[in-house]
Structure 1
């Protein structure tokens, strides 16, 4: 694209970050296998990272979805001592990715026969786009972006192929769920949640309102297994991957690997990425994601991210607390990556993280408001209300949140006052 801006290395004003050393040997080894930078030769770093607990390493690689990267890196450096369990894990991953790829093509063929347009992304599509081989990326499900109006027909089409929704909703619940939710997960005889059909990228309460129609308008074509498909353009895909990583508190290294690999594409229009991120209010999310990728994988920072990082010290956050700097937020997250720790997505600390990841006050307010008043499957399962009383689920939602979080807040404040 004529206006594309090349991703540049970090400017001298941003100090070089120490590689690994602050983490455990097994996580340092994962970083050595996944890093794409050139400060140290990857092969040399892989050989130097010793001793290793191989069981912990394989468990950590499974957790982070980077079994293919580990196996390929060890093969490249001709490492003779890796255990047979790693080879087995790699073969299991490869078999699953090949089966899911065939299943994706089968599903898309059925949808096309019904006149339904869907955009597959992530899964085998992302593996083929980024790595040129579906077995070089570890994944466990299929993601399809759809128009919400097509959902009833898609459910019927998937039922023909042996898939059923993971949750059963009444017509009233489904209408509300389509309005406030973002996906239906489908199960089949081979497993649960194998297909995720999405009409949004995130639930509505996250207040990141992507232009889904625009995704379809800007979609690109490419070939997978001899079949021509359409998927997200590079700029849309990059922002979607950043937001997806943030939604899950950046807990998997594989997501950073994908973003780092995509960012190397010379076709990316970085000005468009910056403009779309600003419009959506996710510049901090993009900046934190790239700073983590830079810190852990030596990924160069795009120019507009450098500017965000250089803005420096924390500032007062209008909703309470402090607006953590990009660097400090990344430094808070990276040790959790190394230790396999997760944020509980229904905890106060998780919601606080999501608030600190947004730069606009109105988005933080919308996030909190929608979080508080938007009923979900939990409320519909807790109590059954007749259709005329369906609006009362907002009150049920508020009551359930108060009963869950208020005792924790009181307990925390009591313990503080007792010190």
Structure 2
């Protein structure tokens, strides 16, 4: 049985440190018990918290240099990964954008080496998926997900490849990976890619989503991933703070995509735990409905501090948020039922996706499915 969280000193400090970073206030003094390092790591915000602690003039733990070193090496690795990607896709007619990762680290966040990441996400126009896959493989990228029968049957919106220098690439033809969830929204990735903008990252011209689409995508990613990590909420807050779009533009785009409920739920959760200024944005996106209020109630007892055994995270509710209260409730029921089924049936895992299975016809079927998607 999972129970609501009763925050201890380390957890309270991490949440306060996140708020201080987000709102540019002085970070409180860290507790003597360095368990807060593990709490911050579980929530995905260790580099952020260390930055806030250091800027406030507090002494850093002896082992903090490892995290800062990781942040710097992440940026160096990203340059090589982006350069390899540009060399592979640049000469083609593929329409593509980079998501999250280096865009957040170098453009959205304003402090270097604070937003760390471990893989590179690329979204291609659905009509260009086959050409993109061929170009990447021709440039030395290698498939990780090789179970084409499973990929085609499930209609996945992404597959994984390794980058020649050893990193991981998530190749998306849609921003919603699960086919059933995808059908509940009206996210037109063709339009998202057509609205792309180009940003400069250390001399590299990198295409990415426009600021409004970036916020919608970050809200979708945070929600569908379970909403249980503070990093995702901070990403959203930083994009709103530094993106330059208006709440009116966001409301119009989110309503057009039928993602306004998702955006509202995640903005409200970010307002509670990261920056209360986002509450005005959450209120202006749409009228609050019963699902919003349910999520706010769940959010109050489930801080975004990652997964901790025996503690309620709210993942079941947040990941089920769809376009309406009715479709969200149906998704919760379906998800709860699937959890029971998975106890009796072998689940789909990374290992099953990585296993070689299927034929070239299955690969062609997956690519055709992307082209025919609405």
TM-score normalized with structure 2 length = 0.77
Inter-partner Cα distance in structure 2 for 1:90 and 1:59: 15
Compared with structure 1, are the counterparts of its residues 303 and 108 closer, same or farther at alpha carbon in structure 2 (3 Å cutoff)? same
Look up the match of 1:29: 13
Q: CA deviation at 1:263?
A: 1.2
Q: Which residue of 2 aligns with 1:226?
A: 203
- 1:205 corresponding residue in structure 2: 180
Cα deviation digits, residues 336-376 of structure 1 (max 9, x gap): x23633899xxxx855554456525357658988998xxx9
Equivalents in 2 of 1:266, 1:183: separation in Å?
Answer: 26
Residue of structure 2 in register with 1:248 after alignment? 225
Task: Sort the Cα spacing of 1:61 and 1:161 in 2 relative to 1 into closer, same or farther, 3 A.
Answer: farther
- Measured in 1, the distance between the counterparts of 2:14 and 2:286 equals 25
Whether the 8 Å CA contact 2:196–2:208 is kept in 1: the answer is yes
2:25 corresponds in structure 1 to 42
| Runs of 5+ unmatched residues, structure 1 | 1-20, 318-322, 391-419
Q: Match for residue 187 of structure 1?
A: 162
Who is 1:409 aligned against? none
Deviation at 1:110, TM superposition (A): 1.8
1:333 to 302, 307, 310: 302
| Equivalent of 1:71 in 47, 50, 74 | 50
- What's 1:154 paired with? 132
CA contact (8 A) 1:205 1:366 kept: no
Which residue of the partner structure matches residue 285 of structure 1?
A: 262
Instruction: Please tell me whether the aligned partners of residues 182 and 198 of structure 1 are also in contact (alpha carbons under 8 angstroms).
Output: yes
Q: 1:46 to 1:216 in 2, by over 3 A?
A: same
1:303 Cα deviation from its structure 2 partner: 3.8
CA distance in 1 between partners of 2:196 and 2:310 (Å): 33
Larger radius of gyration: 1
Indicate the residue corresponding to 2:369 in structure 1: none
Alignment-derived partner of residue 86 in structure 1: 64
User: Which residue in the other structure is 2:81 paired with?
Assistant: 103
- The equivalent of 1:53 in structure 2 is 33
CA contact (8 A) 1:343 1:350 kept: no
Report 1 or 2 for greater relative contact order, CA contacts < 8 Å, sequence distance ≥ 6.
2
Query: Alpha carbons of 1:174 and 1:254: their partners in 2 closer, same or farther (altered >3 Å)?
Result: closer
Measure, in 1, the Cα distance between the counterparts of 2:123 and 2:22. Answer: 36
Cα distance in structure 2, aligned partners of 1:377 and 1:161: 33
* SS in structure 1 of the partner of residue 94 of structure 2: coil
Q: Out of 260-269 and 114-123, give the one that drifted further.
A: 260-269
Q: What is residue 112 of structure 1 aligned with on the other side?
A: 90
Deviation at 1:154, TM superposition (A): 2.5
SS in 1 for 2:162: strand
- Distance in 2, matches of 1:304 and 1:73, equals 25
**Residue 168 (str. 1) matches residue 146 (str. 2):** yes
Check 1:264–1:182 CA distance in 2 against 1; reply closer, same or farther (3 A cut): same
SS of residue matched to 1:201: coil
8 Å contact from structure 2 (residues 43, 305) kept in 1: no
Q: How many angstroms apart in 1 are the aligned matches of 2:57 and 2:358?
A: 65
| Residue aligning to 1:236 | 213
Count of residue pairs brought into register by the alignment: 341
Q: How does 1:255-274 map to 2 (within 5 A)?
A: 255-265=232-242, 267-274=244-251
Cα distance, 1:175 vs structure 2:
4.4
Taking structure 1 as the reference length, what is the TM-score of the superposition?
0.69
Q: What is the alpha-carbon distance in structure 1 between the residues aligned to residue 84 and residue 237 of structure 2?
A: 30
User: How much has 1:326 moved relative to structure 2?
Assistant: 4.1
**What are the within-5 Å matches in structure 2 for residues 8-27 of structure 1?**
23-27=7-11
Question: Deviations 1:29-75 (Å, cap 9, x if unpaired)?
Answer: 22232215899x832x512x5x3422x22222222222322222222
Structure 2: distance between partners of 1:38 and 1:151: 37
Cα distance change of structure 1 residues 86 and 109 upon mapping to structure 2, 3 Å threshold: same
Distance 1:102 1:132, change over 3 A: farther
Separation (CA, whole Å) in 2 of partners of 1:366 and 1:340: 21
- Secondary structure at 1:338 match in 2: coil
- The alignment's C-alpha RMSD in Å is 3.9
- Take 1:309 and 1:273, find their aligned partners in 2: how far apart are those partners? 11
